Each structure stands twice: as structure tokens, then as C-alpha cells.
Amino acid sequence: MPDAPKISDSEWEVMKALWDHEPMTAVEVLARLPHDQWKQKTVNTFLVRLETKGVITSKRAGRANVYRTFYTEKECRRFEGSQFLSKVFRGQVAPMMLDFIENEELSESDIDMIKKLLDDRGGSNG
């Protein structure tokens, strides 16, 4: 990612819909969002803004624009993740992980999976 643009909270919702089912027209994107929370025109505005920001692209197909993401969800997560980490946890990964372990729901299999990953990264308690 050549310095990723800022994606706002609502824009993220649109992005997630698009990632789930590319490419889509504006109408199709709306259909994949919580129906009572979004108006067509609002979705349209966000799609235009996202394209202006360079996060998605569009191509005319018949009477509708068809949108497609430019960055993968993984790329955007990585970017947002490091922003979040430095803003909220002063860049310290371990304290952050500990907080999430404390506060959020983790199933046994989640825990096992994470431990396995950690083993591959090193440490002596695995």
C-alpha cells in the first residue's frame, strides 16, 4: 500500500460489503448493507468519496457504475491496525494483546490457534 488513505467509520462498512462480493453496483452494495440504516443516495456518496480517495475504482457498465476495491481487506486492516496501536496503546503490542485477552470473548479453539501462532514466532513457554 503506497500510504493508504484514511477510511472513515461509515466508509469501512461500505468497504466490507464490497470486499465480500466484488464487483458491485451501488444498488447491489446497498442490498448488502443493513437495510434500515442506509439510503441509496448515502451509499452512492460514500462510493464516490472512496473512489476519490483512491480506495476503490469504478467502471461504467450499461447505465450503472460497477465498483471494485483497490486495496485488499488485509492491507487496510494492517494500516488501521498500526494506526490504532500507536494511537491507543502507544505502539506497544503486548499490552494491547493482553487487554484484548482480558476484555474480549475467546473460545478455546481461538486460544489454541493463537498459541500455535505464537509458537511459530518464538518464545519458550509453548
Partner DNA sequence: GACAATTGATTACAACCGTAGTCAATTCTA
Partner DNA sequence: TAGAATTGACTACGGTTGTAATCAATTGTC
Q: Residue numbers of the site for DNA (CB under 7 A)?
A: 6, 8-11, 25-27, 38-39, 41-42, 44-46, 48-49, 62-65
Please answer whether residues 50 and 15 qualify as being in contact, where contact means their C-beta atoms are separated by less than 8 angstroms: yes
Nearer CB in complex with DNA: 45/69:
45
DSSP state of 123: -
117 binds its own copies (CB under 8 A): yes
77 binds its own copies (CB under 8 A): yes
22 binds its own copies (CB under 8 A): no
Nearer CB in complex with DNA: 62/123:
62
Nearer CB in complex with its own copies: 35/94:
94
94 binds its own copies (CB under 8 A): yes
Please answer whether residues 11 and 22 qualify as being in contact, where contact means their C-beta atoms are separated by less than 8 angstroms: no
Please answer whether residues 47 and 67 qualify as being in contact, where contact means their C-beta atoms are separated by less than 8 angstroms: yes
Q: How far apart are the first and last CA of the chain?
A: 34
* 25: enclosing H helix or E strand: strand 24-25
Nearer CB in complex with its own copies: 60/121:
121
46 binds, among its own copies, DNA, none (CB under 5 to 8 A by kind): DNA
Q: Which three cell numbers stand for residue 79?
A: 494500516
